[in-house]
Amino acid sequence: MVLLSSCGQETDSKYPVNDQSFVMEGPLFQGPNTAQASFTPAMNAEGELTSATLASAVLKAPEGQNFDAFSDVVLQLVTSSSDMIQVGVLNPVPKGQSSLTLQVSNEADLSELLSSGECVWVIDANIPVDMMDTTITFSGDFMFDVTHTK
């Protein structure tokens, strides 16, 4: 009997997704409101994507503005062919901050999502009061820890 085995060579790397643009269009009502942004992963590393987790998520307000309109923020990722996964949260949102670093999930494996085409970030933010004439814009910088196996 001949036993054949193969050893996969793993390569760890960082994969950044920067300058994602979010718009929460008014009128905004008290309670949870949603903003979305999408990207299509294009990784240079060779081999099959076998593991992916979100290493960091930073939201940035436009110059001179802050995130005081939000009481909390929840970050999720979804594709049309994969289930939505919650990947981050910040609760409460500290006052006067123009940049928010979210607490990210160290358990959620995102390799299936990142392998299935266009990904959509879904950000839910609770707003404590109605903001009828306001549209909130902000951007997001994200970093993934990814492992490819050849």
**Which residues lie near another protein (CB under 8 A)?**
31-32, 34, 36, 71-72, 74, 76, 78-80, 83-84, 86, 89-91, 103-108, 120, 122, 124-126
Q: Which is nearer to another protein, 27 or 62 (CB)?
A: 27
DSSP annotation of 33: E
- Sign of the alpha-carbon torsion through 90, 25, 81, 119: negative
To the nearest whole angstrom, how small is the minimum distance from the Cβ of residue 100 to another protein? 13
3-class DSSP state of 114: helix
Q: Which is nearer to another protein, 71 or 111 (CB)?
A: 71
Q: Which is nearer to another protein, 53 or 66 (CB)?
A: 53
d(CA 60, CA 14) in angstroms, rounded, equals 21
**In the beta sheet, which residues pair with residue 125?**
33, 73
To the nearest whole angstrom, how small is the minimum distance from the Cβ of residue 63 to another protein? 28
